[in-house]
Amino acid sequence: MGIHLGRSSFGRMENTGRFLSRQEAQELLDTWVLNERLKVHMYQVAHLMRSWAIEKCLATDQEAWKWELAGLLHDADWDQWPEQHCKKIIEELESRNIDPEVIHGIASHGHRHFGVEPVNELDKMLYAFDELSGFIHAYSLMRPGGYAGMDIKGVRKRLKDKAFAASVSREDIQDAADRAGLSVDELIQFIIDHQGK
């Protein structure tokens, strides 16, 4: 998945505080992401990022949008240009003079693939939410009640079942939680609480 980016600096400091508007972000998503399942994943990660920023970091509106935007666009190039993931979206955002923290967050959401370390909390949470969000969504789809009544124990059981959502790296989930200074259980609970709504 994706390519090694070969650099660690993204965007320009003078663009701090510059974001796509919600409408511009939606247009980019609609043009680049044709796969509806991937789009759902982007919305879910965006919602988790926004919720975390507001609840845990007491983010302002602008800060919350920064987190949400990183979540919304992190896989934007995966659908049509998987071989260029996530180089293409990074270059697009750099050419549009977007805040370097949004771009760095996207660049570091898979450090094993892209070779960019997550540094700040936004980076770490995007990495942490990415695979676990999709994993828990896959689990909800096989439960008769969806998210209703879902608990940590059930998710843990699926994590132990190597055949379930086999493409999701259990190692990355643990690594991401460690880097964020959280337990996997805390992450699971936050996702159950926010994604089910």
Residues near Fe ion (CB under 5 A): 75, 130
Helix ranges restricted to H, the chain: 22-32, 36-57, 61-73, 87-95, 100-107, 111-114, 121-142, 152-160, 170-180, 184-195
For Fe ion, the closer CB: 101 or 130: 130
What interhelical angle do 170-180 and 121-142 show, nearest 10?
140
For residue 78, with 0-12 CB atoms within 10 Å meaning exposed, 13-18 middle and 19 or more buried, which class applies? Answer: buried
How near is the Cβ of 149 to Fe ion at its closest, in Å?
26
In total, the chain counts a number of residues equal to 197
For Fe ion, the closer CB: 66 or 137: 137
How near is the Cβ of 44 to Fe ion at its closest, in Å?
9
How near is the Cβ of 142 to Fe ion at its closest, in Å?
20
For Fe ion, the closer CB: 68 or 75: 75
For Fe ion, the closer CB: 18 or 84: 84
How near is the Cβ of 12 to Fe ion at its closest, in Å?
25
Give the C-alpha separation, 90 to 100, whole Å.
10
